[in-house]
A and B are shown apart, each in its own frame.
Chain A
């Protein structure tokens, strides 16, 4: 392989968990719900998937289980914030803490256990394509699935009727309610979708990427995913860009360290965070364009009778 391909493969891998979690959160936020508990949902997804794969041997079962587990976590959040009208910021942070604790509790007996790698990461192409071929073969199906999710979310938000309703709910729940949209139910479903995606993102880390369970192994990716949604100004394509940018810089600084670049490693590790801030500044400077995409009622509670 040439020098670039390993970087590209690694970048696609590093970006994938962020894509799932951030696209899920994007849909949630587009409905006007701010769920800061992504880290917790990812962790619960990661441990549930890990245990399922360890016991059933099926990655599919594991990933599906993670989606359900993430959605259940999101349901808890949705109940507290949408039905009981609790503050979304606080409930989201509580969810992050609760998820961290719950995943640690469930995963007590699995710390440091690694999964047996039954199947190789990718698959074999029937024909030999130069350059792109080795790249495509090295990617896990979940990477491809993340592209499908991206396509689906993009279409759903931009083109579908339900997506239109969802956006309306996020913009102005009062008017959406007035024209007959079930505001609370749409918000519930959007939140559950966000949870399921976060769960899959966690599963990717624990059963595909590592594949191993360690407490707190999501290691801040849930927070990065949240940041990416803002960074992307609530546009799916920019989520992809942001996730790969963040993943890519992480990877490149490893390659640079491995090649003997003499900068203190702490400064190298800062790069992804600093780059995200810089790009955010560039994107945000145009205030009107930023406002165009931000869900106006993000994080604000809605009660049908108020």
Chain B
């Protein structure tokens, strides 16, 4: 495990600008080690959300070697338990503690308030305090590009989306996907099924089967596992990966995917903490160097000009020339959400609860 991670890290270390620091860190004798704690909600698997988080803290180990000691606690499913584990990690001398999911925000806020001397960083948090930072991915940039691919590759003009729960993180990804598809294929629609569970791959598969038999030929969604891609492949449909690259398992019909990459989030925090200049930040980053998401490899079946177009758009997004949520933008009920010439502010992206036209399915109203 560690060897692979280190190799992977070296590939990106220079871009993170920490290689030099890392090398020095390894030389240093582990006299005053920085203890870092990480709390995972579920066990760490081969692929999926927790795996991508784990790649983050493993990058810390790879960069700073003996200067840090990471304690990762897995399978802390409930918010009540997370609060206790945060406290326990702090009381055992962990100076920097990472949360890995939104549901840990509330307990972390409580602990951070009680322990001002400890620094916290919570993935997907929407709040920051003096000693608690946040990091979140603008992965709608990646799903936008995937949507462009999907819009070009669909024959039926029906896309499918299988989601676990309709949280904002999923809705901004879904909207990005649809905006991307519409930019190249105005006729495309996307049918959505919610399965209301995180850990039932059989239901995900049933949902994919339902969508495919109703005409969808490109499947995306919020899979944490390769199961949606496998199910789509079995039925001759394309799929888009999410979280991790599933091409090892979905060998033929994975078009691309929006991949999470938290390594810079973890490594920068640890670097600042080691240097004694950690500051709570709200980091919301998308594609590009030091960003929090990347694209999975493009399927060879995608025509070269489509890939070229997508890569151009990626460069434009990174350069700030292309905004995914650019106006004029209406929701599916026809209400204008972004005026022409404007683009959706970050705060509204992070609390998004509407979907663009072409998305079919039930969405919670507040």
B45 touches A210 (CB 8 A): no
Interface residues in B199-254 by Cβ distance below 8 A to A read: 199-203, 205-207, 209-211, 213-214, 216, 224-227, 230, 233-234, 244, 246, 249-251
Query: Does A261 touch B at the CB level, under 8 Å?
Result: yes
**Least Cβ distance of B335 to chain A in Å?**
17
A–B pairs, 9, beta carbons within 8 Å: A14-B202, A111-B44, A117-B230, A121-B234, A209-B201, A215-B42, A219-B202, A251-B206, A257-B194
Query: Does A1 touch B at the CB level, under 8 Å?
Result: yes
In order of increasing CB-CB distance, the 7 nearest A-B pairs are: A111-B45, A6-B213, A112-B45, A265-B194, A114-B249, A219-B200, A260-B360
Task: Enumerate chain B interface residues (CB-CB to A < 8 A).
Answer: 42-48, 51, 160, 166, 191-197, 199-203, 205-207, 209-211, 213-214, 216, 224-227, 230, 233-234, 244, 246, 249-251, 360-362, 364
Contacts of A157 in B (CB 8 A): none
B214 touches A259 (CB 8 A): yes
State which of A114, A120, A261 has its C-beta within 8 Å of the C-beta of B226.
A114
Contacts of A127 in B (CB 8 A): none
Query: Does A289 touch B at the CB level, under 8 Å?
Result: no
B47 touches A112 (CB 8 A): yes
Given contacts A217-B201, A257-B361, A112 and B226 within 8 Å (CB-CB): yes
Q: Which residue of A lies closest to B202 (CB)?
A: A209
A113 touches B46 (CB 8 A): yes
Contacts of A210 in B (CB 8 A): 201-202, 205, 227, 230
Interface residues in A244-280 by Cβ distance below 8 A to B read: 250-251, 254-255, 257-266, 268-269
Contacts of B224 in A (CB 8 A): 112
B227 touches A114 (CB 8 A): yes
Query: Does A198 touch B at the CB level, under 8 Å?
Result: no
Contacts of A257 in B (CB 8 A): 192-194, 207, 210, 361-362
Interface residues in A10-54 by Cβ distance below 8 A to B read: 10, 13-14, 17
Contacts of A98 in B (CB 8 A): none
Contacts of A265 in B (CB 8 A): 166, 193-196, 361-362
B51 touches A6 (CB 8 A): no
Interface residues in A280-296 by Cβ distance below 8 A to B read: none
**Least Cβ distance of A291 to chain B in Å?**
35
Query: Does A299 touch B at the CB level, under 8 Å?
Result: no
Q: How far is the CA of A254 from the CA of B203 in the complex (A)?
A: 9
Contacts of B203 in A (CB 8 A): 219, 250, 254
Q: A112-B51, A113-B46 are in contact. List 15 more A-B contacts (CB 8 A).
A: A6-B213, A14-B206, A17-B202, A112-B45, A114-B225, A114-B246, A214-B45, A216-B199, A217-B200, A250-B203, A258-B211, A258-B216, A262-B362, A265-B166, A266-B196
A6 touches B209 (CB 8 A): yes
Q: How far is the CA of A263 from the CA of B361 in the complex (A)?
A: 9
Given contacts A111-B43, A112-B47, A264-B362, A1 and B227 within 8 Å (CB-CB): no
Interface residues in A94-137 by Cβ distance below 8 A to B read: 104, 108-114, 116-117, 120-121
- Chain A CB count within 10 A is highest, among B48, B197, B205, B224, for B205
Query: Does A205 touch B at the CB level, under 8 Å?
Result: yes
**Least Cβ distance of B293 to chain A in Å?**
19
Given contacts A113-B46, A264-B362, A254 and B202 within 8 Å (CB-CB): no
State which of B202, B206, B216, B234 has its C-beta within 8 Å of the C-beta of A217.
B202
Q: How far is the CA of A219 from the CA of B206 in the complex (A)?
A: 14
A215 touches B362 (CB 8 A): no
Q: How far is the CA of A129 from the CA of B224 in the complex (A)?
A: 39
Q: Which residue of A lies closest to B74 (CB)?
A: A108
State which of A13, A113, A121, A264 has its C-beta within 8 Å of the C-beta of B364.
A264
Q: How far is the CA of A23 from the CA of B205 in the complex (A)?
A: 24
State which of A212, A268, A269 has its C-beta within 8 Å of the C-beta of B227.
A212
Query: Does A211 touch B at the CB level, under 8 Å?
Result: yes
A215 touches B199 (CB 8 A): yes
Q: How far is the CA of A216 from the CA of B203 in the complex (A)?
A: 13
**Least Cβ distance of A45 to chain B in Å?**
14
